[in-house]
Chains A and B, each alone.
Chain A
Amino acid sequence: MPAELVTGNHAAGYALSAAAEANRHARGATCGIYPITPQTEIVEYVARFPFSKTRVVPVESEHSAMGVSIGASLAGARAFTASSSNGIAYMVENIMVAGFYRLPIVMVAVNRTLGPPWNIWADQGDTLMLRDFPWIQFYCEDNQEVLDTTLLSFRLAEDRRILLPALVALDAFILSHTQMGTELPEQEEVDRYLPDLDLPHRLRHEAPTTLGGLVWPNVAMSQRLEIDEAMERVPEAFEECRYAFIEEMGRDPGNAIQTFFTDDAEEVLVVSGTIATTAREVVRRRRDDGENIGLIKIKMFRPFPEAAVREACRSAKKVAVLDRNYAAGVGGIFWQELRSVFQGDGDELLIQGYLTGLCGGDVTPSMIDEVVVDLRERDAMDKPVWLGIGNGKGAEG
């Protein structure tokens, strides 16, 4: 299929619309939409799409955008929305509900700095704040990955073994407003890839149930356990969805983690999102110079691909985790995850955290070189290193 030059927002809007249209022979689709920079173009795309059996509901807030999508999903339709930053923060209560109701809603999230102070550039803090919710989370590196992962997310979320909502994240502006050559699948291909949705627990008059009422502790706890079991099934179901995608589209939507020269690497960089593109070039150059360095790009953040990460780090002695996000009083969130993966392994593996490109700062090759040099000189883990502030105080630096 021919590639077109489209933005990340266009790619996301295209995928959401095609997925909604693909359910036209079943119960249709609905989404609540609400604008927020830099996501707005996604909902604008959806609002313009000539759907056969989809209602787009322009609501008054992100909270209601997810509310409408929850209602539509409970009625058995395909449901989705898109948001960003403080919009996600405002939506949080219903984001949580979608997970606990086991509704396969797909949300595209453009990662933007949470305010105040107001800043519209890339930072993963908005979606990582949802890390403890029953949502599958993906972070994308380019516009093709955004499109493909969004389509895949519907198939994965709606899988009977899973029935969990899924979130597809892309970096503000770096992807959302940047055009890249992207293959846009035909509607027939999407139709074949996404089966009609038949939500088993949808509300129906012939067998009325009450969802979300009072539940005793042991039953509520059991429902949490069911979520945990569904999360455990995600890696296998994801692989199936990925291979089905390759078969249908002739293109790999990307593995849960993607490795680059990790087989014999003693130093490994761990990244996500668009930082991966830059980091890959740094690693390639250093490999050419004979350095024993590799890269892991983490695409699936929830459930965290623990086994794959462990396997990819088997020859590593030092790991640098680059985070475009910050958990107050802790440091980078991917760093935190990495440490928990290797917790109990003793101190053989040094895992150092680097805060890079927070609040939309550029992560340049020289900054990644700085990371490598710092990592190489280290003999013990220390508190996270902040890079990119200049002389240490932004306004003066």
Chain B
Amino acid sequence: MTAGQGSGAPDGALGREGREPGQQDRELSREEEIGLGRLEGFATAPIPCTEECLLRAGNTNCGGCGMSVGLTMLGRALADVGDTCTLAIPACCGAVTAGAFPTTSYGVPTVCTTFASAAAVASGLACIRDLNEEPGQVICWAGDGGTYDIGMATLSAAAERDDNIIYICYDNEIYGNTGGQRSSATPPGARTSTTPEGKSEDKKDILAIMAAHRIPYAATLSIAHPEDFSRKLKTAFSISGTRFLLMHSPCPTGWKSEPAESVELVRVAVASGLFPLYEVWGGHAYRINVEPDWTDPAMYFQHQRRFRDDELDLETTRRVCRERFARLKVLAEEFPYEEAVAAG
């Protein structure tokens, strides 16, 4: 098993025979103390995590996985502010991260939802937390497939209702868990197992879509800018309603890049204007967090074997990046986010 240190898996005695309740005098296990083990018919209860960290060692993630770094940073940001969370994770690498039952790599209560249901399940969890006036964030942790594609309607509906959840999309621009197929987050030119000649369509602007729901807070995150990343998480924790965060998530397996270069790749994406770091409040107030220095994005493409030199039009890429950033700049100048206004 790859799921880290649990208190041990149940042995093979799971059949109809060998289910004697007996042995009343033995010490209760942790799961029995909290009621799980006392359930008649539940020989296979999950083992609670006893470590106080969000992502434990021994998880199943690949080397150089951006999502791993993001989860660690999420755990730290929560610890910094003394908060905790419940995770709702649709089908994605994050659901596999936990490792095999009954142990888990997640140190917080976690439910794996159906592919399209992360936001809906989170809404249900958040309703009951709020009805009972309990602390803790309810966070969807979802890949781009579960966000841009199959989960879009559910997420849009939760945002329209302004349900009290945080939705974090770690965007590795492919269906990673199934071996790297195209999603609507895959950038043009990228070869995937379903776009063998390179994707010919552009990528959806999910942050604009979510901001257009006029939710309280929407922002982009990069693991190459950890202070900014952490500050935005804490901003999200401090407000209620639907908060949407988009994280550019390097995936060496799918991007065919070097694990050691993951952070550098997404750093270049920010510096070259490919992945701008910015925030949107209420769908109308903008703030740009990092000004691109217009580093040449060539390295970003050349160091990922999903792109091919002879298929790339870097000139167009540079131009599009500048044009899109210029639009953002206009929004940030015309409709700036002002702390005092937001606080009031």
A and B interact: yes
- Asked whether B125 lies within 8 Å of A75 as measured between CB atoms, the reply is yes
A336–chain B nearest beta-carbon distance, Å: 27
A131 at interface by CB-CB < 8 Å: no
Complex Cα gap A162–B45 (Å): 15
Chain B nearest Cβ from A10, distance in angstroms: 25
Asked whether any CB of chain A lies closer than 8 Å to the CB of B44, the reply is yes
Does B120 lie within 8 Å of A67, measured CB to CB? yes
B106 contacts A210, C-beta separation under 8 Å = yes
* CB-based nearest A residue for B115: A93
A360 at interface, CB cutoff 8 A:
no
Q: How far is the CA of A93 from the CA of B90 in the complex (A)?
A: 13
| Contact call B120/A201, Cβ cutoff below 8 A | no
* Neighbouring B residues of A65 by C-beta, 8 Å: 120
Given contact pairs A60-B154, A209-B104, A204 touches B84 in the complex (Cβ within 8 A): no
Distance between B6 CB and nearest chain A CB, rounded to angstroms: 10
Contacts of A74 in B (CB 8 A): 111, 121, 124-125
Chain A residues within 8 Å of B107, by CB: 208
Residue-wise interface mask of B (103-131) relative to A, using a CB-CB cutoff of 8 A (1 in contact, 0 not): 01011111111101101111111111111
Q: Kindly identify which residue among A200, A213, A225, A230 contacts B98, using a CB–CB cutoff of 8 Å.
A: A213
Contact status B125-A218, CB under 8 Å: no
Q: How far is the CB of A57 from chain B (nearest CB, A)?
A: 6
Whether B110 and A208, one on each chain, are in contact in the complex, defined by CB atoms closer than 8 angstroms, is yes
Contacts of B45 in A (CB 8 A): 201, 209
Minimum C-beta distance from A246 to chain B (A):
25
Q: Please tell me if A151 contacts chain B, counting CB pairs below 8 Å.
A: no
Assembled-state Cα–Cα distance A94/B117 (Å): 8
Q: How large is the interface on A (under 10, 10 to 19, 20 to 34, 35 or more residues)?
A: 35 or more
- Chain B's closest residue to A59 (CB) is B157
Q: Are A61's CB and B124's CB within 8 A? A: no
A212 within 8 A of B: yes
Interface residues of A in 60-75 (CB under 8 A from B): 60-61, 63-65, 67-75
- Give CA–CA (A164, B31) in the complex, Å: 21
Partner of B101, one of A30, A205, A213: A213
A57 and B34 form a contact (CB under 8 A): no
Residues of B within 8 A of A93 (CB): 114, 116-117
Verify if B30 is at the interface (C-beta below 8 Å from A): yes
Contact A200 B100 (CB under 8 A): no
Answer whether residue B14 sits at the interface, using C-beta atoms and an 8 A cutoff.
yes
Given the known interface contacts A61-B153, A68-B121, A213-B101, the answer about A203 and B16 at a Cβ–Cβ threshold of 8 Å is no
Q: Collect the chain B residues with CB atoms within 8 Å of residue A119's CB.
A: none
With A160-B39, A201-B36 in contact, is A210–B124 under 8 Å at CB?
A: no
Q: Is the CB of B129 within 8 A of A75?
A: yes
CA distance A12 to B147 in the complex (A): 35
B123 touching A71 by the CB < 8 A rule? Answer: yes
Interchain CB contact under 8 A, A58 and B161 = yes
Knowing A55-B131, A58-B161, A61-B153, say if A70 contacts B39 (CB, 8 Å). Answer: no
Nearest-Cβ distance from residue B92 to partner chain A, whole angstroms = 12
Q: Which DSSP category, helix, strand, loop or mixed, fits chain A's interface?
A: mixed
In the complex, are the beta carbons of B41 and A161 less than 8 A apart? Answer: yes
A79 part of interface (Cβ distance < 8 Å): yes
CB distance from B181 to the nearest CB of A (A): 20
Beta-carbon contacts under 8 Å, A215-244 to B: 215-216, 218-219, 222-223, 225-226, 229-230, 233
State the Cβ distance, A368 to closest chain B Cβ, in Å. Answer: 42
Q: Does B48 contact A (CB under 8 A)?
A: yes
Nearest to B114 among chain A residues (CB) is: A93
> Is B88 part of the binding interface, using a Cβ–Cβ cutoff of 8 Å?
yes
A100-B161 Cα distance, complex, nearest whole Å: 28
Q: Is the CB of B46 within 8 A of A211?
A: yes
- CB–CB B114/A71 < 8 A: no
Residue of A nearest to B48 (CB): A207
Is there an interface contact between A219 and B44, defined as CB atoms closer than 8 Å? yes
A198 to B317, CA, bound (A): 56
What residues of chain B lie closer than 8 Å to A204, measured between beta carbons? Answer: 34, 109
Q: Is A214 located at the chain interface by the 8 A CB criterion?
A: yes
Asked if B117 and A67 make an inter-chain contact with CB atoms under 8 angstroms apart, the answer reads: yes
Query: Shortest beta-carbon distance, A129 to chain B, in Å?
Result: 18
Q: Which of B38, B96, B102 contacts A219 (CB 8 A)?
A: B102
Q: Which residue of A lies closest to B134 (CB)?
A: A205
**Given the complex of chains A and B, what is the CA–CA distance between A387 and B170 in angstroms?**
57
Which residues on A sit within 8 Å (CB–CB) of B154? 60-61, 63-64, 67
Q: Is the CB of B104 within 8 A of A210?
A: yes
* Cβ-defined contact, B128 with A72, below 8 A: yes
Closest to A228 in B: B16
Asked if residues B127 and A30 are in contact (CB atoms below 8 Å), the reply is: yes
23 pairs, A vs B, C-beta closer than 8 Å: A30-B131, A55-B127, A55-B130, A63-B114, A63-B120, A67-B116, A67-B117, A67-B119, A71-B120, A71-B123, A71-B127, A71-B128, A74-B124, A200-B36, A207-B48, A210-B49, A210-B106, A210-B111, A213-B95, A213-B96, A213-B100, A214-B100, A222-B44
Q: Which 5 A-B pairs have the closest CB atoms?
A: A71-B124, A67-B120, A212-B112, A75-B128, A60-B157
A74-B111, A213-B110 are known; give 18 further A-B pairs, CB within 8 A.
Answer: A55-B131, A64-B120, A65-B120, A67-B120, A75-B124, A79-B124, A205-B136, A207-B30, A207-B31, A210-B101, A210-B109, A210-B112, A211-B46, A213-B98, A215-B100, A218-B14, A226-B41, A229-B16
